[in-house]
């Protein structure tokens, strides 16, 4: 089951990497999210629609116990011709260290409860996460795959 989820996640990430439309939502907001909760939002490119709105809420911190690190992820498609349903996932997140190009990078692995794909986000800054592939590599159009802390 995990392998199927990983393969499905890889396929989706490959599709997103090849998308050429859409802009990242890069609004500047005032700090105010508590240390135990962080909300990140952005719009990912989509080949067949106007974009995929992604909203990720992380509970806990990098230093919290693993069972205290939970997340909610909501994805909705803008003007998709097949009108797919919104995707809603909840589960736990882990802190991983290192990528092939940066051994000191911080990566968050979001694993949903039950079925669903595993998401990987590299922490670019305290305010920015970037969707990366399951091998922890950044995509060429990585700036279009960034979420901003709200």
What is the structure's pLDDT at 116?
Answer: 86
Q: How many helices (H) and strands (E) does the chain have?
A: 1, 8
First to last CA, the chain: 34
- CA dist 67 and 60 (Å) reads 9
Domain spans of the chain?
A: 2-149
What is the structure's pLDDT at 2?
Answer: 37
- CA dist 54 and 86 (Å) reads 10
10-residue mean pLDDT series, the chain (150 residues): 38 41 38 70 95 97 94 96 93 97 97 93 97 96 96
What is the structure's pLDDT at 35?
Answer: 61
Which CATH number applies to 2-149? 2.40.128.300
- CA dist 74 and 86 (Å) reads 7
> 138 Cβ partners below 8 Å, 6+ apart?
99, 101, 122, 130, 132
């Amino acid at each position: 089951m995990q392998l199927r989820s990983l393969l499905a996640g890889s396929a989706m990430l490959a599709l997103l990497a090849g998308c050429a439309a859409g802009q990242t939502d890069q609004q500047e907001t005032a700090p105010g999210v508590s240390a135990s909760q962080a909300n990140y939002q952005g719009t990912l490119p989509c080949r067949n629609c106007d974009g995929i709105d992604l909203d990720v809420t992380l509970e806990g911190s990098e230093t919290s116990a693993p069972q205290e690190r939970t997340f909610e992820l909501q994805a909705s498609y803008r003007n998709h011709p097949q009108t797919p349903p919104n995707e809603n996932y909840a589960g736990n997140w882990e802190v991983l260290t290192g990528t092939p190009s940066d051994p000191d990078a911080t990566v968050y692995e979001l694993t949903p409860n039950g079925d669903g794909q595993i998401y990987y986000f590299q922490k670019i800054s305290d305010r920015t996460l970037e969707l990366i592939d399951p091998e922890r590599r950044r995509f060429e159009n990585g700036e279009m795959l960034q979420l901003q802390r709200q």
